Amino acid sequence: MNDGDVSRQIQQMVRFIRQEAEEKANEISVSAEEEFNIEKLQIVEADRRKIRQEYERKGKQVEIRKKIEYSMQLNASRIKVLQAQDDLVNSIKESARKELVRLSNDKRGYEKLLKALVVESLVRLRETAVLLRCREVDRKVVESVLEEAKREYADKIKVATPKVTIDNVYLPPPPTKADSHQPYCSGGAVLASEDGKIVLENTLDARLDVAFRQKLPQVRFEGVWWDKEVHDQFLLLYMDCIFQLAFMILKT
């Protein structure tokens, strides 16, 4: 083999080695690029998941804050409505109490009403001996109607006339504008058994409280714009109930 053949064989081997190296390099490059792309996609997808999770977390936080704010506003609105209703009801009740004072100032009508209250109390107690407590300003009125009330009770129940003692301890005085925080009584009487175990409060204020509790469901409703006309309507409703009670007592 001459030098030319040797040279050609060497060149052929060099070309083969170079081709092998290039193919290997290409394989390595392609493999590296694939791994890079896969890793890049994994990183991008992981970042996307983090972004989505963070977005969802913040979205939930915003939703929770909205619900909390809505709930707080709703509760505040309900409290305002309830407060407005309470103010109205208390205003109506106070107006009704003023009407009770006018009722007790009607001398002839109040005498009949007071006698009827005493008779009704005696009927409900059905005791042979009773202690009666009234306002100091009403003592003379009570004394003037007591005997007739006892006879009326005895005739109605068909029993002996009961012993009724007027207590020297009095109910609170009528309400005054000077001090509305002091205890007061608009009229009526409190009767009790002689041993004090049974007490029947039959004052005008107690009757108003009964009417108040009965009519309260009609007053407490939502969605009404409270104005003077509505206030007057409910005041008339209360006063109608009060006078109905008075007439019922007088008829007994």
Number of C-beta neighbours around residue 130 at 10 A: 22
List, for residues 193-228, the tens digit of each pLDDT value: 988 899 999 998 888 888 777 766 665 554 344 455
Instruction: Choose between 185 and 19: higher pLDDT.
Output: 185
pLDDT in tens, 122-145: 999 999 999 999 999 999 999 999
User: pLDDT tier at 148 (50, 70, 90 boundaries)?
Assistant: very high
Residue 165's DSSP bridge partners are 131
188: three-class secondary structure by DSSP? strand
Predicted pLDDT at 108: 86
Average pLDDT, the chain: 81
Contacts of 148 (CB under 8 A, 6+ apart): 115
Highest mean pLDDT: which range of 32-36, 38-42, 171-175, 180-184: 171-175
3-state helix, strand, coil in the chain (%, to 5): 75, 10, 20
Helical axes 3-105 vs 204-219, angle rounded to 10°: 140
Q: What is the dihedral of CA 80, 86, 90, 91, to 10 degrees?
A: 40
pLDDT of residue 216: 67
CB atoms within 10 A of CB 157: 13
Q: What is the pTM of this model?
A: 0.59
pLDDT tier at 243, thresholds 50, 70, 90: low
The pLDDT, as a whole number, for residue 250 is 47
* Cβ count near 212 (within 10 Å): 17
- Give 11-63 pLDDT, tens digit per residue: 777 777 788 777 787 777 777 778 878 888 888 888 888 888 888 888 889 89
Kindly indicate the confidence band of residue 240, based on its pLDDT and cuts at 50, 70 and 90. Answer: low
pLDDT at residue number 241: 54
**At residue 128, what are phi and psi to the nearest 5 degrees?**
-80, -25
Query: Who contacts 202 (Cβ-Cβ below 8 Å, separation ≥6)?
Result: 117, 118, 120, 121, 188, 189, 190, 191
